[in-house]
Copies of this chain bind each other. A is one copy, B any other.
Amino acid sequence: MIIILKAGVTETDAQTLLAQIESKGLKPLYMPGVERTVLGAIGDERVLQSLNLDGNPIVDEIKPILSKYKLVSRELNPIDTHVMLGNHAVGGDTFTVIAGPCGVESREQLLGVAQMLGKHGIAALRGGAFKPRTSPYSFQGLGVEGLKLLKQANQATGLPTVSEVIDASDVELMADYIDCFQIGARNAQNYRLLEAVGEQQKPVLLKRGMSSTVEELLLAAEYIVNAGNPNVILCERGIRTFETATRNTLDLNAVAYLKRKTHLPVLVDPSHGTGVRELIAPLSYAAAAVGADGIIVESHLNPCEALSDGHQALDAQQFAALMTGLRPFVHAAGKKL
């Protein structure tokens, strides 16, 4: 860790701090400069938290050298993690496609779309039973009824199911019905929820928050793994920027960056990442090309009747076209589809 002192700090004050650093087992360094003095602390700087350097009045700025995450870091664990959805290994040789409606609306809707999607060989079926909505007057999901329909869809098609969990107290209940927990962008820093899914072993699809840095996303994953569950799938779904032509700005830089920094698999959500139906296919191709392990897309047999996010759902024909269009890019990336 590099500690930049304020201009005018005396050597005596600096030495006091250096002694504290040494007392924590780190090697202290004193670097008096022309305009200001810089201190160094060599070793596992994470133990310096207890020194509260952050609040020390002689400290101007702290520059950490090491990343704050450990368990999810590729430096410490270079082997790609495979997270199993049924028989499908997310992060393996086969490009993962997860699809389904934004929200579970009825038995007919869910089974209909599940059967259509199943024919395309998708890895898992997505569908929200609990929907976090910006307005209290919007459709909030079917709740437990939706979970039961997901279970039925799983039994009918064999597809593992993914559904969003929005509260720690729902984790146990949901575990009876679904195969993978999704943490949505709005809950990306709901730490109680992260810990709750960390205390069980089912896979967790962790979406990046709308304004989360990639480091914050990795630290959110670190919460889950640290709590005991190594089965984390990261998901880039667009960040919030000044651009209004698209719903969010899909950050594929982040995908390439994450693949280098972590051993966890990384998916891309082009449906929320663009919010525009026509842009879903090209951004799915780009996701495959940039090195993502798969995509998660919204699909609905009749988008025009969807109770939420209909504008970004693909119908049967559009989904088939997506899969056809996607294949050559997945192959170019050296993966199977």
In the complex, are the beta carbons of B169 and A191 less than 8 A apart?
A: no
In the complex, are the beta carbons of B241 and A241 less than 8 A apart?
A: yes
In the complex, are the beta carbons of B332 and A244 less than 8 A apart?
A: no
Task: Provide the residues of chain B in CB contact with A251, threshold 8 Å.
Answer: 241, 243, 249-250
In the complex, are the beta carbons of A283 and B256 less than 8 A apart?
A: yes
Which B residue's beta carbon lies closest to that of A187? B190
A135, A136, A253 pick with most chain B CB within 10 angstroms: A253
Number of copies of this chain that the complex holds: 4
Binds B, one of A53-61, A88-96, A108-116, A118-126: A53-61
In the complex, are the beta carbons of A52 and B304 less than 8 A apart?
A: yes
Report Cα–Cα, A59/B56, bound state, in Å: 30
In the complex, are the beta carbons of B249 and A55 less than 8 A apart?
A: no
Question: Which of B139, B273, B290, B303 lies in contact with A253, CB distance below 8 A?
Answer: B273
Question: Which of B135, B186, B242, B304 lies in contact with A242, CB distance below 8 A?
Answer: B242
Q: Using a CB-CB cutoff of 8 Å, which residues 301-329 of chain A contact chain B?
A: 303-307, 309-311, 313, 328-329
Interface size on A (CB < 8 Å)?
A: 110
Other A-B pairs, 12, CB within 8 Å; known A167-B193, A215-B245, A249-B253: A2-B2, A52-B304, A166-B190, A187-B190, A211-B242, A241-B249, A249-B249, A256-B274, A282-B291, A283-B290, A286-B287, A289-B289
A contact residues vs B (CB 8 Å cutoff): 2, 4, 7, 29, 31-36, 38, 40, 42-44, 46, 49, 52, 54-57, 59, 63, 65-66, 68-69, 75, 132-140, 166-169, 186-187, 189-193, 209-211, 213-216, 219, 222-223, 226-227, 238-246, 249-257, 259-260, 273-274, 276, 278-279, 282-283, 285-291, 300, 303-307, 309-311, 313, 328-329, 331-333
A-B CB contact pairs (8 Å), 21 listed: A4-B65, A31-B42, A35-B65, A38-B42, A46-B137, A52-B306, A54-B309, A54-B310, A55-B300, A132-B190, A167-B193, A186-B190, A186-B191, A238-B253, A241-B251, A245-B253, A245-B254, A253-B273, A256-B274, A259-B282, A285-B333
